[in-house]
Amino acid sequence: MNNNEIKIGKRLVGYKYPPLVIAEIGINHQGSLDLAKKMVDLAISSGGEVLKHQTHIVSDEMSSKAKENIVGYIGKSIYQLMDECSLNENQELELKNYIENKGYTLLYKPPSGIDRTKNSKLIEIKERIGSTPFRTSVNSPFGLWLENSIINVLGKNIIKASTTGGSQPISSFIKELDIPAVSVRIPNPDNNIHGPNENINIKNFKEGILICLSILTSEYGQF
């Protein structure tokens, strides 16, 4: 068993510890500060220990040419969509203050020993463009174990893709803990991801719960 571990604030992460729950807020607030605050509350009350929020300044991230590329199922350009789903500077500051008022301390640098002693709840904010990519072979022992854990629930074969998009903060854990990782997709293919009326079928949601339970309770190498 891999005994590597990392420490985030006072929280140890590794094979020997319970899973770290990272709540994805992203841009799912659709540009609404009130909804963003509600998502923070839900994440904390549901046991989320880390909040992942995306800040976008669309005019700095995309060429104006992106406004001309209309995505069919959305009916608008990705530029327009991202612009509509972004909070402005004042709203970002208010959200920051809201999180701090929940008892969390936001840091823009790695927390020192003194920071950890003074504060029981810490959030470090790191700013960068993009995320380091990663890939785990779907045919590796880990990939095959994961596949069988899912088939154990669904009773049928699943679709495996070697490359997908996403902004999950996974690569840092892979590097520091020296462990493999994959993304398990549960939404319906027509869920209008990042578009108006983004949705998930109840059937997929229930299957997703059972899949996560199977993965978390199946001993590695069991199948």
**What are the residue ranges spanned by the domains of the chain?**
1-129, 131-223
The answer, yes or no, to whether residue 207 has pLDDT greater than 80, is yes
User: Can you give the pLDDT at residue 210?
Assistant: 92
d(CA 95, CA 33): 7
Calculate mean pLDDT across residues 147-159: 85
Can you list the pairs that 92-98 forms with residues at least 24 positions away whose Cβ atoms lie under 8 Å?
92/55, 94/33, 95/33, 95/36, 95/37, 95/40, 95/53, 98/37, 98/40
d(CA 211, CA 223): 15
Report percent pLDDT > 70 for the chain.
Answer: 81
Q: Under CATH, what is the fold of the domain 131-223?
A: DNA polymerase; domain 1 (1.10.150)
Q: Where does the pLDDT of residue 94 fall: very low under 50, low under 70, confident under 90, or very high at 90 and above? A: very high
Average pLDDT, the chain: 80
d(CA 146, CA 204): 18
User: Can you give the pLDDT at residue 196?
Assistant: 67
d(CA 148, CA 218): 10
What tokens does 193 get?
Answer: 């991801």
User: Can you give the pLDDT at residue 77?
Assistant: 86
CB 88 within 8 A of CB 58: no
User: Can you give the pLDDT at residue 173?
Assistant: 77
User: Can you give the pLDDT at residue 128?
Assistant: 54
Q: Where does the pLDDT of residue 100 fall: very low under 50, low under 70, confident under 90, or very high at 90 and above? A: confident
d(CA 134, CA 126): 19
Alpha helix positions (H), 108-201: 113-118, 141-154, 171-177
Q: What is residue 166's three-state secondary structure?
A: coil
Q: Does the pTM of the predicted model rise above 0.85?
A: no
Q: Under CATH, what is the fold of the domain 1-129?
A: TIM Barrel (3.20.20)
DSSP β-ladder status, 5-8 and 11-14? antiparallel
Calculate mean pLDDT across residues 6-21: 82
User: Can you give the pLDDT at residue 117?
Assistant: 62
Give burial (CB, 10 Å; 0-12/13-18/19+) of 73: exposed
What tokens does 165 get?
Answer: 């998009």
Q: Is 166 left (phi over 0), alpha (psi -120 to 50) or beta?
A: left
What tokens does 215 get?
Answer: 């993965």
